Structure 1
Amino acid sequence: MQTASLTAIAAGYRHSVLLLPDGTVKATGDNTFGQCEVSGWRDIVAVAAGNAHTGNAHTAGLLEDGTVVAAGWNKHDQCNVGDWHDIIAIAAGWRRTVGLKADGTVVAAGRNNEGQCEVSSWADIVAVTAGDWHTVGLKADGTAITAGNNRYGQRNVNAWQDITMIAAGYLHTGGLRADGTVVVTGMNKRGQGEVGGWCNIKSIAAGSHHTIGLAWDGTVMAAGWNDYGQCEVSNWQNIVAVAAGCTHTLGLQADGVVVAAGSNAYGQCEVSLLHL
């Protein structure tokens, strides 16, 4: 396993999750619904944290054998993933979990009131991401497909081309282009879509109301809601992965140290002792 994997850290609404090189998982922050009860997980290769704007959250883990485990809030059966198999990537949104299968198809569990779990017809998918009320898939040809709520235009991705990575926030969606620029669609009331000047970006993350970009030189930029300092990342260096929650942001340094910015009201930023 690569210690600098983009799946090594995950940020939920008020909790943070870290995947260690030995396949175990650590979590810190709000554990009201048991979303941090992951200490018994083994052979994990990817993690995802539900980023619910209401505070209800869950955590999902992908095992080496392609099965999935989950812990936390399960009111809408978003943790009922025990029968999944052949999964190669996972995403966690508000009230649901999404899994990408090895054959490029997608499965979903959880709330479907807005159609956000209607992904069974998708094909040729290479990545998935989940916002609160919408789900996005990246296709092998660099285009994107969506399902769910589109009240703020968060699903308006039909014109996107040459996309290499996607990230879904509360009501916005980000796409990383092959040329290192970023495009965002959806709600922009907090400035989370103000990414027009970004360049040389290698990966992105979307929080509830902010967007994070990791540059190839290991520096990080942010746009959007910053009331809790979650966008104060301009001094970070040597970062290899980023994750965004609601009011906090995580960065994984090349040396395996995790840094955090933003609210720590629930201990979600207490990651200084968590190393890869």
Structure 2
Amino acid sequence: GEGWRLGGTAPGTLVRTGATVLGAPLSLARISLEGRVPVLDPTEDGDLPSVAIASPEEDSLLPIGTLSVSGTLGDHRSLVSVAYSLNGAPPVEVPFAADPGTGFLTDLAATFDFGVEPVPGRNTVVVTARDAAGNEGSSSVEFAVVVPREVPLAAGAHFALATDASGGVRHWGSTGVYGFPILTAPTLLPGLEGAVALAGGFQHGLALLPDGTVRSWGANWFGQLGYALEGQAAYGTVPAPVPGLEGIVAIAAGGHNSMALRADGAVFVWGSNGKGQMGNGSEGGFATTPSVVQGLPPCRAIAVGTGPRTEWCTLFAVAENGDVWGWGDDGNGELCRGNTSPRHSLLPVQNPFVSGVASIACGYGFAIAVREDGTVAGWGRAGQGQIPGAWWQGSHSVVVQVPGAAGIVQAACGWESTLLLREDGVVLACGGNKYGQLGNGTTIEADRSQPPPLPVPVPGLGGVARIASAFYTAYAVGEDGSLRCWGLNSSGQVGDGTQENRLDPASVLLDQ
């Protein structure tokens, strides 16, 4: 009738609890000691404890942040301490649950799990276990930590822009205007150090600087640089400030138009007004001065699409609540207004078929929206399969859900192809493949007797942080700052030192 428990000065000893229990007295033979051993004399132990690190794996490449180190410990008698050292620093004790009767860890196999703060580059963690006899066993693992490098990236019709490791802007390809020859490899473009965002139009470029101002260069036939050039020159060979823009947080360019988003959500436009791109109710001509688009709620994202003529563009803005607004050309259903005439709008109109949008990208006559939940929708021109789910229709004025797209964080559009960046760093591609812009090693187009293929991963690409596309060329920047490009290369826009088309992603050196 009396209660007993394990305890005392040595493992396996029964002591009286002073309590009364129902049933038969406890029997030592009925108490399971599986996985545990008594420590008879730990000082006579000559065997080393075992330590096995399961995670991280040897030579793994990991992102910056707190890292969990886990594994198993073992000893046939007793462990009294476990400690780790990161990169040769003094050991840090790892708490573990000891046997209350002995103070030892007597499990035949126990696990450990602790967090460390590794530094960028190579790191080494050593885990050491010591038993009661003073024997020590250890295990180590080496791994590398990569700090994701923010590389602003943009593509124009036949040129591309990106920042190098020092923060300078590199450009390659051709804008097709005097003063900018064909460049087959990334070349420094002075005056844009520290740029935080880049954008490319048909023949002009934009750069957003850290102070919230914008600089532009290239063709200016429609005022897309945002200022009048002396002597009515049609191009600017040196990046120059766009007057009147301050507090800018995002930029966009396409065709002969430019856009800027201010921190308070206001949207500015300048350049061609052939289809009402100014968004102020006017039509025709062009504007060399940025002006605020009328009738828009505060916005958080902007984009410019290309029309059948480079001076006819569709412009988009994503409101802070996730609604999409558009204005300008509507020749391919870009504004989702059905067969409404005229096929353009001089003021912003809300797309009634899509909501919860985080960002938007545009190609020739079509738009791809990435929702906040990582799903994707598209509308507009769909004749090359750039909007899976819309069949091979020439235009589609109703929003279509893109099947096979989940966990998407960014979209980029070429002339008739679509790239989607998934949250795991994989790039998906669909649409036209005339010049290998799908990056699958071929120029084979899809069978038009079948439904348009779903977006599929671009072979050989992983760990991608940002994508861009324009015309028939595609670009991807890795989390480590590496650059891969593929597709049409007639003007050197791939950047690999040649003018040969690339059907697979080619490595391009930004820092040279």
TM-score interval w.r.t. the shorter chain?
0.7 to 0.9
1:45 equivalent to 2:214? Answer no
- Segments ≥4 residues shifted beyond 6 Å: none
Structure 2: gaps spanning 5 or more residues: 1-62, 64-148, 181-186, 227-241, 280-292, 307-312, 337-350, 389-401, 440-457, 464-512
- Write out per-residue CA displacement over residues 134-187 of structure 1, whole angstroms, 9 at most, x where no aligned residue: 000001110111110011122212221210000111101110111111001110
Residue in 1 aligned with 2:297? 161
Q: Aligned residue for 2:161? A: 60
TM-score (norm 1): 0.79
Asked if 1 retains the 8 angstrom alpha-carbon contact of 2:175 and 2:202, the reply is no
Instruction: Tell me the equivalent position of 1:222.
Output: 378
AA of the residue aligned to 2:262:
K
Residue aligning to 2:314: 172
Partner of 2:129: none
The RMSD of aligned alpha carbons is: 2.0
- 1:229-248 alignment runs, 5 A limit: 229-232=385-388, 233-248=402-417
Q: Secondary structure at the match of 1:84?
A: coil
Name the structure 2 match of 1:13.
Answer: none
Question: Where do residues 136-155 of structure 1 align in structure 2 (5 Å cutoff)?
Answer: 136-155=259-278
* Cα separation, 2, equivalents of 1:80 and 1:137: 24
Q: How many residues align?
A: 231
Structure showing greater radius of gyration is: 2
2:168 & 2:334 partners in 1: Cα distance?
Answer: 34
- Determine the C-alpha separation between the residues in 1 that align with 2:251 and 2:169: 15
CA distance in 2: counterparts of 1:161 and 1:62, whole angstroms: 32
Alignment of 1:202-213 (within 5 A): 202-213=358-369
Q: Structure 1 CA distance, aligned partners of 2:165 and 2:221? A: 32
Match for 2:362: what amino acid? Answer: A
Q: CA offset at residue 267 of structure 1?
A: 0.8
Does the aligned pair in 2 maintain the 1:206–1:244 contact within 8 Å? yes
Contact persistence 1:239–1:253 (CA under 8 A): yes
Q: Greater CA deviation, 252-261 or 82-91?
A: 82-91
1:259/1:272 contact within 8 Å kept: no
- Matched to 1:126, the amino acid is V
**2:144 aligns to what?**
none
Q: Take 2:176 and 2:329, find their aligned partners in 1: how far apart are those partners?
A: 27
- Equivalent residues of 1:46, 1:62 under 8 A apart: yes
Correspondences of 1:1-276 after superposition (within 5 Å):
45-50=151-156, 52=157, 57-76=158-177, 77=179, 81-118=189-226, 119-156=242-279, 157-170=293-306, 171-194=313-336, 195-232=351-388, 233-270=402-439, 271-276=458-463
8 A contact 1:136–1:166 mirrored in 2: yes
Amino acid in structure 2 at the alignment position of 1:66: G
Partner SS state of residue 213, structure 1 = strand
Q: Tell me the CA shift for residue 64 of structure 1.
A: 4.8
- Structure 2 CA distance for partners of 1:65 and 1:226, relative to 1, 3 Å: same
Matches of 1:215 and 1:84, distance apart in 2: 32
Greater Cα offset, 79-88 or 151-160? 79-88
Q: What do residues 228-251 of structure 1 show as CA deviations (whole Å, max 9, x unaligned)?
A: 011113331221111111100110
Report the alpha carbon displacement of residue 110 of structure 1 after superposing the two structures with TM.
0.3
Aligned amino acid, residue 358 of structure 2: K
Please say if residues 44 and 63 of structure 1, whose CA atoms lie closer than 8 Å, have aligned partners that are also in contact.
no
Structure 1's unaligned 5+ residue stretches are: 4-42
TM-score, normalisation: structure 2: 0.43
Q: Does the 8 A contact of 1:128 with 1:166 survive in 2?
A: yes
Rounded to whole Å, the distance in 2 between the matches of 1:249 and 1:230 is 6
1:80 is displaced (CA, Å) by: 7.5
Find the aligned partners of 1:65 and 1:172 in 2 and give their Cα distance. Answer: 35
Q: CA deviation at 1:85?
A: 2.0
Q: Distance in 2 between matches of 1:211 and 1:262?
A: 13
Deviation at 1:130, TM superposition (A): 0.2
Alpha-carbon separation, structure 2, partners of 1:236 and 1:219? 6
1:87 is paired with a residue whose SS is coil
Provide the rounded CA distance (Å) in 1 between the counterparts of 2:243 and 2:165: 23
Alpha-carbon distance in 2 for matches of 1:99, 1:213: 23
Q: Is the Cα–Cα contact under 8 Å of residues 162 and 177 in structure 1 kept in the other structure?
A: yes
User: Match for 2:208: what amino acid?
Assistant: L
